[in-house]
Structure formats: structure tokens, C-alpha cells
Structure 1
Amino acid sequence: MNNSASHILMVRPASFGFNEDTAVDNKFQNIDALKNLEDIEVKALAEFDQYVQTLRDNNIDVIVVDDTPEPYTPDALFPNNWFSTHTDGKLYLYPMKPLNRRLEKREDVIEMLDMCFHISEKLDLSHFEDKDIFLEGTGSIIFDRVNKIGYACVSHRTNEQLFHDHLAELGYKGVLFNAVDDTNTPIYHTNVMLSIESDFVVVCGESIKDDKEKSNLFESFTQNGKEIIDVSLDQMRAFTCNVLEVTSLKGDKVLTMSTQAFNAFTNKQRETMEKYVKLLHSPITTIETVCGGGTRCMMAEIYLDEKFFV
């Protein structure tokens, strides 16, 4: 088994814009740069469509769902935060901190998935929202599905106890740590500072200030046979960790990323990754600037078995 799915779900936005609810703790959103951007919704849709086409041109199976104009969900193009799927057929819904992001959870999307894939059980953790306890899907948790380990950095969106309880239910070991940006602000989602691939990891070690936590984390990677691509805080800001390995319909491993992230990697880092995967990138500058998330955030992995109809 690889740490990459062969089916991806993406949501084409209908109400794209700057989300003030998430900007409270998402320091990757750039409100200053926003003042210099025009026609952001048009540009974001063009970037989304180009990215989907780039993926499909490279034999990656992408299921595109259209967002609905109502209710207002400016971050709907980041479906990886509200659900995850697993090879045993389970689908989990997650408790989300921003009020307007909770509206992204759509029963019709789950019903559509159930028509095409085998869902053995749907488990809804949304009730934790009433207790101000949050765990935002694969934004919060980075799964090493081969070795059954989940990694997470603590933040307002990632509750320590729920993280451990959830991983125990999945039969996974949990590795928890603290990570901060260049202003010493806790990083809001783990997937902007860590990505786990089948053969390597991309991580911003500089964001982990506690030497013991960093040592334990890197030791976990090494013990599980991962080559470590350690990027700087500046590279992390360019979404170098917000990348995702996927498996093409031909069985090839492809590492998807934004053009900004691709350009931020050093030649040596790219050469190291290309030993294991094909690098694929597309420009999503408007989306990254306005929403503070990259290509990985836009992709919800489907690990469910397909239904075959005669």
C-alpha cells in the first residue's frame, strides 16, 4: 500500500473570497496582498480549472463537485478538512472551528460517493463542535497509512485528546508536536508544515522549536524508511509542505504541488524527490494568497473501494 490514493475529490468554488473567520489563526492568508488583487473570483476559478485539467492530463482521476451559491462557503474548495476516507470503508466527518466552514459538510457529496464507492460506515465527530473541540481532517492529521501513524501539530484547530482518541479508534499510533511560524505563532494546520509520501517526507523542521519533539519526529520518519526533505520557514511559506502524493491511473506516483511551491524547492530537493515520484505543478497564486492553503488542501483523497456495475 502506498501513501497515495488513486481517486481525488475536489470542490469547484461558487463563493470564493477572503474568509475573515479563518484569518484569525491562518497566518498564511495575505490580506495585504489581497489589496493588489483584482477579479479574484474569476482568477481563482481559472486556477482551479487549470489545476484539474493538469491533473487529468497526467492520468489522475479527479471527481469534481460544484459548490453551491448558498450557503456562503468561501473555503469550500478545501474539502480535505471536513471528511476523510479509509481502506476499511469508513468515512469520518470532522469538527471544524470556523463557523462558516461547518456549512461545507454536504450530505449530497457523501451520497454521491456512496453511489460510486463502498462506504461501510459513516462516523460523525461534528458534535465536538458544541464543546469547542476541533480536529480538521487531513489538515490537522497527516496520515502515514502504510505504517499506521498519524502526525499532528497542536493548534486551536487540532485538539490533543480528540487526536489521540481518533487515532486509537483507527488503530493508529499518534505523534503530536508543536510547530510555529516565523512570528512564533502556532501553525494552524499540520499540512502546511508536513507532508508524508510513500518513500519520503517534506517537513519544516525549523518550525519545531522543541529539540526533543523535533528529534522524536525525525526519528519516527527515519525508523519508517522515509527520506527527509527538510525545508526552511521561507520555503514553508511558499507551500512546499502543502503537497500531496497521488497514484495515477497508470499506477505512477505523482507529487502534486503549486507552481509557487515547485519554484521554492532547491534543485537538490527536487532531484531527491524525483527519485521516487513525478513532480507535477500548476499555478494557484490567487487561491494561496486569499485562502492561505495550497494544492494539498484542495484535494480530498478517496481510499474507498470502487463499485463496479455490470
Structure 2
Amino acid sequence: MQRLSVQAPRSVVMIRPHHFSPNPATAADNLFQGTDAARSASAIAAEAHREVTRAAARLEEAGIAVHLFEDEGRATPDSVFPNNWFSTHSGGHVALYPMFSPSRRKERRHDVIEMLKHRYRVQDVIDYSGLEQDGVYLEGTGAMVLDHIERVAYAARSNRTNEVALERFCTHFNFEPVVFDAVDAAGRAIYHTNVLMCIGTDFCLIGLATIRDVARRDEIAERLAQGRVVIDLDHEQINEFAGNAIELQGRNDRVVALSSRALQALRPEQRAVLEGLANLLPLDVPTIELAGGSVRCMLAGIHLAARGALQAAA
């Protein structure tokens, strides 16, 4: 068994939507969203439900504990992406985040936080959601990609990533902020950092070409290369969600969870490098990806110490 890594959580929270649909309220700045005119809304919702069910089962087969919550409401089309509204941190800390779209603020759930308190050792919950009243937003581990080993928070500027909120988070949680501008091939701002970047224990997937400032790009690449293999993704691979992955601790080895679409976008040599560092766990979520996010967005990693029974089971 590989040594345990603070970068790779052993358990996750997932939300299984009963009325999933791509959210029109977020389409203006989430350029990764898509449509499917060939299927009815009910067919799309039913398939999204099945995709989450299958993904949760595959994660559990790999030895990852999945806390699966149901969302039967119709007012939260993006609820399948819980990593945006909360995050968890070693030492027993939980953060709640301010969300840009009013439709997404309804995703915050008391029962999820209560489960965390019951099953894991939670010391405090820091709630930043009140910043929404000031037009200040920081959409969790979508807006930030956290290096839990080096204590660095990488963040691409956008209307969903406010630097004041980021500084506040970093002060509370002891991270160093590293902020940069990131754009797609057409020069449009990328809405979330986690679609262009994934940090694992021994590797980093990153779309370096998205970082507009060359000096900043080189600085970040050099920093990431200290102790990690940097796998550079091109714009096309970013569009295929190759950067939207997450490293998890499985039963025997660390795994990289990513979508089947993302895995297919990797070049053979990139895939070989990743396979040498962790097991690859592709999940089939093409319907979920219509909403502009992929596997990383679907999984809220739990970086908390488990209470007795769960810890023994793990």
C-alpha cells in the first residue's frame, strides 16, 4: 500500500440529482456548458441520475467512502457539483463559500454539514457566504486548486474568484495565494481554476497555455515541478475536461478519478506518466458534463479525521 497523502482524501461527498439540467443562469460565463437537443429534459435528468449512481459505485469499488445525498428539488440544477459550496480541511475545519449565481446559493445543505460533524471530527465551520451580499464570491475548490502538501492555493481570476475572499480564506486556513489570469484559446476568461488544473501528490495536470502572462506561467510551472511531474495540457484537452480530475486514496493505492472523455483526450505518453504514479479511474459522465463541469466538480473531498467506526472500516 502506498503511503497516505494529505493531498488524496479517502472519502467524498456526492449529490445525486433527480432533476438535473444545464443551468441557463450560469451559461454566460461557463463556456464549458453544452446542450443536447436530441434528448428531452426528463431523459437528460434520468441519465444524469444514472451517471452519478454508477460513478459512486465505481468509487466505492475502489475503496473510497462515498457519502451520497439525494437532491429531489427542481431549483438547484447544479447541485451535482458540491465542491463549490463547501470544503474540508485537516485539523477539523470546514468552509462554506459565497456563490456567484443566486440559483447556486440554494445548494448549501445543513444535512451535509451535520453528517460531517457526526462522522468526522469537525472543530469549526467558517462561513463566508455572507460575502454574497457585497458581491464578493469564491466558489470553493472550483475557484481554488489547493496544494495541501505545500499549502498553496492556486486561483485564476474570474467573477467567481474574488481576491479579497481568497486572501481571507488563505489567512484562516494557512494557504499562500497564487493568483493568475487564465483564458481559453479565444482569449475568454476561464471561469474555474479546477477545469485547467489538478494537483496530485506526485503530479500536476495543468493547461499552462491558458496562463496569459508568460513570466507568471513559467513561475508557476517551475514551482509545481519542485517535487511533482508536470503534465502540460493543451487547450483542446482542457475543453475535454482533462484538467478536471482529482486524486483520491483507494483501498490499496491512490487513484486519479477523471471522466472517460478526459482520459481519452490524454496523449499516450501523458497517460503512461499518470499510470506510473496512480491508478486511473475513468468515470462515464457525459450528461453531467453538459453542465460545464466534470468528475472533479462532482466530488467534494473530505480532508477530516474520521470518527471511530468509519476510520476502522477504511
Which category of TM-score, normalised to the shorter sequence, fits these structures?
over 0.9
Alignment-mate amino acid for residue 117 of structure 1: Y
1:48 is paired with a residue of what secondary structure? Answer: helix
Residue of structure 1 aligned with 2:247, choices 237, 245, 263: 245
Distance 1:2 1:125 in 2: 24
Deviation, structure 1 residue 249: 3.0
Q: Within 5 Å, which residues of 2 pair with 1:122-133?
A: 122-133=125-136
Give identity over the alignment, percent.
35
Deviation, structure 1 residue 68: 3.2
Residue in 1 aligned with 2:186?
183
Residue in 2 aligned with 1:254?
255
Q: Deviations 1:155-183 (Å, cap 9, x if unpaired)?
A: 00000122122112211111110001122
2:69 is paired with a residue of what secondary structure? Answer: strand
Is 1:19 matched with 2:23? yes
Q: Deviations 1:237-285 (Å, cap 9, x if unpaired)?
A: 00000000000133x1000011000100011000001111000102111
2:106 is paired with a residue of what secondary structure? Answer: helix
The answer to whether the 8 Å contact 2:85/2:99 transfers is yes
Alignment-mate amino acid for residue 186 of structure 1: A
The answer to whether the 8 Å contact 1:14/1:69 transfers is yes
Distance 2:27 2:170 in 1: 28
Alignment-mate amino acid for residue 121 of structure 1: D
Is 1:228 matched with 2:230? yes
The answer to whether the 8 Å contact 2:152/2:177 transfers is yes
Residue of structure 1 aligned with 2:33, choices 19, 29, 39: 29
Residue in 2 aligned with 1:40?
44
1:285 is paired with a residue of what secondary structure? Answer: coil
Residue in 1 aligned with 2:77?
74
Residue in 1 aligned with 2:294?
294
Deviation, structure 1 residue 69: 1.8
Q: Deviations 1:202-258 (Å, cap 9, x if unpaired)?
A: 0011111210110111111023x11110011001000000000000133x1000011
2:287 is paired with a residue of what secondary structure? Answer: helix
What is the number of equivalent residue pairs in this alignment? 304
Residue of structure 2 aligned with 1:96, choices 78, 94, 99: 99
Alignment-mate amino acid for residue 74 of structure 1: P
Distance 2:172 2:116 in 1: 23
Residue of structure 2 aligned with 1:62, choices 63, 66, 70: 66
The answer to whether the 8 Å contact 1:195/1:201 transfers is yes
1:85 is paired with a residue of what secondary structure? Answer: strand
Distance 2:68 2:192 in 1: 24
Alignment-mate amino acid for residue 42 of structure 1: A
Residue of structure 1 aligned with 2:152, choices 149, 154, 158: 149
Deviates more, 1:177-186 or 1:191-200: 177-186
Distance 2:187 2:207 in 1: 14
2:219 is paired with a residue of what secondary structure? Answer: helix
The answer to whether the 8 Å contact 2:6/2:303 transfers is no
Distance 1:82 1:9 in 2: 12
The answer to whether the 8 Å contact 2:22/2:34 transfers is no
Structure 1 runs (4+) deviating above 3 angstroms are none
Distance 1:192 1:45 in 2: 22
Distance 1:87 1:134 in 2: 23
Alignment-mate amino acid for residue 66 of structure 2: V
The answer to whether the 8 Å contact 1:61/1:249 transfers is no
Structure 1 gaps of 5+ residues are none
